[in-house]
Chain A
Amino acid sequence: MNAPHSNAPQMRTAASRVRGLGAARAGTMDFWHQRVTAVAGIVLTIALIVIALSLLGRSHAAVVQILGSPLVAIIMLLFIFNSAYHMWIGMQEIILDYVHADKYKFLSLMANTFYAIAVGLACAFAILKLSFGV
């Protein structure tokens, strides 16, 4: 048998060492998570539109009070995290479909991750600040 952890120089290829071990069982994870976040997104999008409509024309103080109230803040946080994850998977799929040069592919995949986390965290922080004051 091959010994993947020995210090001896490896002659076997990476593919030959994993052949026969079976799938990593993560192949359809993005596909499935995109469906889960899509179903959640239907409910949360309708909720976001209702919240946005109810805030139209209101003063800053009223908007702060409503966005920071527990039920609205929780729905907004769910929308933010659900959307950030959904759009991260979606943009990754687009990049993998259209960007083939390794350098640009990995750079854009990284940028996608940074953007999704940054915009999600920024939105979530704003909601938390509205909720807890300061």
Chain B
Amino acid sequence: MAELEAGTATAPRRSRPLSPHLQTYRLTLTMLMSIVHRITGSALYFGMLLLAWWLIAAAAGPNAYANFEWFVGSWIGRLVLFGYTWALLHHMLGGIRHLIWDTLHGLEPADREMLTLATVIGSVALTLVVWVIGYLAMGGPR
């Protein structure tokens, strides 16, 4: 009777592959950078407003452009621009990593963690390089 009830109430259970569930798998760098890729993508999505502001201000005239320059020259503007630079470069390197994975290379546990670590180190290093070049181009921090 108990067996019959169990049989009718639930279908026979098969073990199915699990998605990277947080209660099943410990957090790895690959998992963390998976969501960071989405977060940086979303940040860049809204960051397009900054690009639009820059271009529209340049097209509108000197006064509008001065307002934009004032914003990116302020500490909060610098912070936003620094974050935008990092998000852009990290999303680009993460994208390259995804394109490598699309070719079925670098998917072994050690390889994918190494590739992922490379995107983190690479994005931070490239961001600093771009900002150093930027400050040099402007003749030192202002």
User: Cβ of A45 and Cβ of B92 under 8 Å apart?
Assistant: yes
Chain B contributes a number of interface residues (CB within 8 A of A) equal to 32
8 Å CB contact of A67 from B44, B58, B92, B133 = B58
Q: In the complex, which residues 127-142 of chain B have their Cβ closer than 8 Å to any Cβ of chain A?
A: 130, 133-134, 137-139
Q: What bracket does the count of chain A residues touching chain B fall in?
A: 20 to 34
Q: A53-B137, A119-B49 are in contact. Are A38 and B95 (CB under 8 A)?
A: yes
Closest chain B residue to A64, Cβ basis = B58
Instruction: Report whether over half of chain B's contact residues are helix, strand or loop; otherwise say mixed.
Output: helix
8 Å CB contact of A126 from B56, B62, B96 = B56
| B66 located at the interface, meaning its Cβ lies under 8 Å from any Cβ of chain A in the complex | yes
Q: A64-B58, A130-B58 are in contact. Are A41 and B92 (CB under 8 A)?
A: yes
In the assembly, what is the distance between CA of A130 and CA of B58, in Å? 8
Q: How far is the CB of B100 from chain A (nearest CB, A)?
A: 12
| A110 located at the interface, meaning its Cβ lies under 8 Å from any Cβ of chain B in the complex | no
Instruction: Report whether over half of chain A's contact residues are helix, strand or loop; otherwise say mixed.
Output: helix
User: Cβ of B102 and Cβ of A35 under 8 Å apart?
Assistant: yes
Interface residues of B (CB under 8 A from A): 38, 41-42, 44-45, 48-49, 51-52, 55-56, 58-59, 61-62, 65-66, 85, 88-89, 92, 95-96, 98-99, 102, 130, 133-134, 137-139
